[in-house]
Structure 1
Amino acid sequence: MPHIYLKSAFLPAIAGAIFAFGSTAAPAPASAACNPDDCGGMSREALARDKAEIRRLNREQLRYVRKRDAEYAKGWRARRQHKQDLADYERRMAEWRDAVRRCNAGDYRYCAR
């Protein structure tokens, strides 16, 4: 059986998808916010509790999304930095190759590099 390897860059996305799918499959607690179409018979206090619960859930989700996006941004920064480091390396190697070529051609100023 072949082994399956996942790139670490995809793990946060996979974990987020599993969390999102798993949390939607779970039944809502009895104290969960009501459907706005079904709230007509609720008391003023019940509506206030419902509004507070919706606000709490929205804030909780916002915290989750900000934390998730911050983790994604770390990966994006690392990827950009790697591309920059690779470009710098290629530039330095081209300069070194040019110096070797000039040294071999007799321009001894480039031999000391």
Structure 2
Amino acid sequence: MRVSRKFCVVAAVSCAWSAPLLADDPRDPTMTPEAIARDRATIRRLNREQLEYVQRRDAGYARGWRAAAEARAARSQASDNDADYADMHADYAEQRRRYDRAVRDWQDDVAACRAGYYDRCDRR
């Protein structure tokens, strides 16, 4: 026997609509005070469990955010160190160029002195 698609849809919709009707209603006159107290206790317990879950989840998020911030700070520090290294390298390169120029000038003075240009012998 084949069940029609329309019947399945109607059955699913009727189950979805009837679920709230079957739930406990605290204002239901047939509910006993014990049942109401049980419902309240269950709701409190569920709320407490949900609160604990949310606090654990948020604490995990906060740990992740702190770790990410620390990683960003470490990367920033590393890039600052890289920038410092680049500055030091540039300073060294400039000092080396000045030194090489001074050595060339000195060598030119020595060569000129040996060639007889004595005014360049005592240059400092």
TM-score (norm 1): 0.59
Cα distance between partner residues in 2 of 1:35 and 1:91: 64
Distance in 2 of aligned mates of 1:36 and 1:43:
9
Once the 2 structures are TM-superposed, how far is the Cα of residue 36 of structure 1 from its aligned partner?
4.2
Structure 2: 5+ residue stretches without partners: 1-22, 97-124
Give the helix-richer structure, 1 or 2. Answer: 2
Instruction: Give secondary structure in 1 for the equivalent of 2:95.
Output: coil
Structure with larger RCO (C-alpha < 8 A, sep 6+): 1
Tell me the equivalent position of 2:95.
106
- Tell me how far apart the structure 1 counterparts of residues 63 and 29 of structure 2 sit (CA, whole Å): 46
Distance 1:51 1:87 in 2: 53
| Two-structure CA RMSD over aligned residues (Å) | 1.8
- For residue 94 of structure 1, what is the aligned residue in structure 2? 83
Count of equivalent residues: 74
Which has more radius of gyration? 2
Matched, 1:34 2:18: no
Unaligned runs of at least 5 residues, structure 1: 1-32, 108-113
Q: What's the offset of the Cα at 1:98? A: 0.5
3-state DSSP of counterpart to 1:105: helix
- TM-score w.r.t. length of structure 2: 0.54
